[in-house]
Structure 1
Amino acid sequence: MVWVWILGATALVLALFATMLSVTLARQIGKRDPSALPRGWRTFLRIAPVAATPATGVTLDTDNRAQIAFIVNPTKDGTAELRERAMRACAIRYLPEPMWIYTTEEDPGTGQARDAIEAGADVVVAVGGDGTVRAVAEALAGEDVAMGIIPLGTGNLFARNLDLPLADTGALLRIVIEGSVSRVDVGWLDIERAFPASREGSTHLFLVMAGAGIDAEMVAGADPILKKRLGWMAYFFAAVEHLGDKRIKATVTVDEGLPLEAEMRTVLMANAGRLPGGLQLIPDASVTDGELDIATLDARGGLVGWTELFGSVVAQGAGIKQTELLRTWRTSRIDHRRGQSVTIDMDSPQRVQVDGESLGRASRVKGRIQAGGLLIKVPAGITP
């Protein structure tokens, strides 16, 4: 049977390589001539031009004396240079000197953001990875203070879903200072039955996705050294180690509707649906629709099922969805539901994560959406 596993692993690697190559080529073609690609691919790659319409819900304050506060993770490279550029950018626009506040191990940004609000900040900018962004957002949710983002992390999931220019610091600073302001949704995860019980009753904000199952195992198992060297690809290697894990049994209840009981590899609740590498795991998820998108993913039959599941994720991102007839003969499936709240009861404790942060194990969690709960700085004229 060893040769079967070798053959399967080889097929999986070739499939991944072929997919990444095709996506890269399509993206380059689309940047030069979007009309050269089918509509589904343009949607999947998000290269179609976005109409420059005013952001809905909130208008940018015309007061050019706005006070900006930067909440900075000091462990990230490039923060010293960024501070000089931020000071200069504010000075040439005759803005007040920006606040520059560092996070700590004890407080990754929530307390600092609240202090900045109390000190009169009109815009609070999270400088760091997904953890810093989530911590700052927790302080700003429900407030009338806008949040900016300068991503310096590995995944930068929320920034990717907002289509922020990750590699262009100058453009990011312009968005923070001159960009439009839009309202976006935020998700909240309540842990009701935790193991150990220290996290029981705790509540956690998420901006992109929360979930239980192999996605949380992947987050918990990612090697920190590989993350620094390989970026988000480190999560792929962590996931491979759990391909042989048992499927979880869970009951999913959306908006107090009929419970759905099934076996699955993972269950996700999404505010946004894009992953690193351009993968649209949940294509219909939107940060402005006031709903959570719930997805259960399952794979059977070893590497054959996992390869098929990966192909389904790529296909649905391009607008090709499974039909009920085809599902009967498949070794994998993806089921979608939508609502404003979801309760997940698992037969045994499973790892849980929010936006790439492991929260330990739990057997019951609840997710809910706070529609329009966060003001966010985006490129001028663009609606998320």
Structure 2
Amino acid sequence: MRAHPSLALIANAGAGRVRASTVERIARVLARRFAVTVEIGRSPEEIYALARRSAGRADLVVAFGGDGTASRVAAAVAGSGSSFSVLPGGSTNHVVQLLGLPADPIRAAHALTGPVRYRRLDVGRISADRVLLFLGGVGIDAEIVADASPGVKRFFAWRSYLIPGLRHLGDGPWSFTIEIDGARHEVTARTVLVANGSFLVHPYFRLGPDIDPSDGSLDVLALTPGSLAGWVEVFTWAALGRLWRARSVRRWRGQQVSITPCGRAPVEVDGDPYPDLSALSVTIEPAALTAVVPAFSRGVGEERANRYG
């Protein structure tokens, strides 16, 4: 096991579970193994700038916040030579689950000071300062993300999306042009998802049988229910953990993805709404990120990608 002599902790002061006292405790735990510097950001732009300054200097750059924080830090670290990890400070912490880290930030910090291994992850590049690390989409999923109350998310985690989900169930559909590796598809859908991670909202609700953030590809899923009956079918298959089997779900895979709605549609990336984007274009960067993860645990879907048929 190779030691990391230097570690930069990038904390998001606006994340639901990030407190000054918790940051101090985490820094003390990490200092048992690393030379730790702590940076506190208060906006996505500041978090990216802090991570960019640390990338290539610190051996390990750790994001402490939610999935949006992890995504911004990963955008700065990818390809820099620094390794990456994340501590759970948000409401759903999908990236933490994907990497097999504990759900408690202090326990997760302890895990990084113990035996670790290195996992190469793909990232979906959107722009110089933005990547898709886990999941993005255009349509009602972005409306749900924007509508979920931060206070409710803090206490109810993924369940906080249920009420906004019901509120926006009838929105759309939108007409989309989806281009995947040069092939063009015209689709009418309620939402179109781009997945690097393997599940939606909760690990049980898997998006596909073989989605893996290390496979060099992005998965695209269009949810096309045209009626309440169509939604019932989607929810039934989702409840069975096999969303991809629903007739109202279309799925593709590729390295370059562009999703363009006809007219204005909301966009989200890794749980953060992006009102400045009117379309979503993502290019996979295979194995661009080296993640430090606990040696003796596995992330959601890891080494089980072919378990489901």
Question: How far apart are 1:339 and its partner, in Å?
Answer: 0.6
Taking the TM superposition and a 5 Å limit, the aligned residue runs for 1:90-239 are 90-91=31-32, 93=33, 95-96=34-35, 98-105=36-43, 107-117=45-55, 120-167=57-104, 169-175=106-112, 178-189=115-126, 204-239=130-165
TM-score of the aligned structures, taking structure 1 as reference length: 0.70
**SS of the residue 1:109 aligns to:** helix
In terms of fraction of residues, the more helix-rich structure is 1
2:8 pairs, out of 46, 50, 69, with: 69
CA contact (8 A) 1:274 1:283 kept: no
**SS of the residue 2:249 aligns to:** strand
Taking the TM superposition and a 5 Å limit, the aligned residue runs for 1:236-315 are 236-257=162-183, 259-278=184-203, 279-302=205-228, 304-315=229-240
- Hey, what does 1:378 align to over in structure 2? 293
Q: Structure 1 residues 276 and 69 mapped into 2: Cα distance closer, same or farther (>3 Å)?
A: same
**SS of the residue 1:349 aligns to:** coil
Q: Structure 1 residues 137 and 106 mapped into 2: Cα distance closer, same or farther (>3 Å)?
A: closer
CA contact (8 A) 2:71 2:130 kept: no
In terms of fraction of residues, the more strand-rich structure is 2
- Hey, what does 1:83 align to over in structure 2? 24
Q: Structure 1 residues 309 and 85 mapped into 2: Cα distance closer, same or farther (>3 Å)?
A: closer
Larger displacement relative to structure 2 (285-294 or 152-161): 152-161
Question: How far apart are 1:353 and its partner, in Å?
Answer: 0.7
CA–CA distance in structure 1, aligned partners of residues 193 and 244 of structure 2 = 20
CA contact (8 A) 1:108 1:131 kept: no
2:245 pairs, out of 315, 321, 326, with: 321
Query: AA paired with 2:86?
Result: I
CA–CA distance in structure 2, aligned partners of residues 243 and 88 of structure 1 = 44
2:274 pairs, out of 311, 334, 359, with: 359
TM-score of the aligned structures, taking structure 2 as reference length: 0.86
Indicate the structure (1 or 2) with the bigger Cα radius of gyration. 1
Question: How far apart are 1:269 and its partner, in Å?
Answer: 1.0
Question: How far apart are 1:89 and its partner, in Å?
Answer: 4.6
Q: Structure 1 residues 283 and 107 mapped into 2: Cα distance closer, same or farther (>3 Å)?
A: same
Question: How far apart are 1:360 and its partner, in Å?
Answer: 1.6
CA–CA distance in structure 2, aligned partners of residues 363 and 85 of structure 1 = 38
**SS of the residue 2:264 aligns to:** strand
Q: 1:15-52 CA distances to partner (integer Å, 9 max, x unpaired)?
A: xxxxxxxxxxxxxxxxxxxxxxxxxxxxxxxxxxxxxx
CA–CA distance in structure 1, aligned partners of residues 172 and 102 of structure 2 = 39
Q: 1:155-205 CA distances to partner (integer Å, 9 max, x unpaired)?
A: 111112222221362344322564112210001236xxxxxxxxxxx8631
CA contact (8 A) 1:73 1:108 kept: no
**SS of the residue 1:348 aligns to:** coil
Question: How far apart are 1:236 and its partner, in Å?
Answer: 1.6
CA–CA distance in structure 1, aligned partners of residues 276 and 55 of structure 2 = 34
Q: Which runs of 5+ in 2 are unaligned?
A: 303-309
CA–CA distance in structure 2, aligned partners of residues 343 and 157 of structure 1 = 23
**SS of the residue 1:121 aligns to:** coil
Question: How far apart are 1:318 and its partner, in Å?
Answer: 4.8
Query: AA paired with 1:229?
Result: F
CA contact (8 A) 1:223 1:238 kept: no
Q: Structure 1 residues 290 and 235 mapped into 2: Cα distance closer, same or farther (>3 Å)?
A: same
CA contact (8 A) 2:218 2:253 kept: yes
Q: Structure 1 residues 179 and 65 mapped into 2: Cα distance closer, same or farther (>3 Å)?
A: closer
Q: Which runs of 5+ in 1 are unaligned?
A: 1-59, 191-201, 328-332
CA contact (8 A) 2:11 2:18 kept: no
Q: Structure 1 residues 307 and 143 mapped into 2: Cα distance closer, same or farther (>3 Å)?
A: same
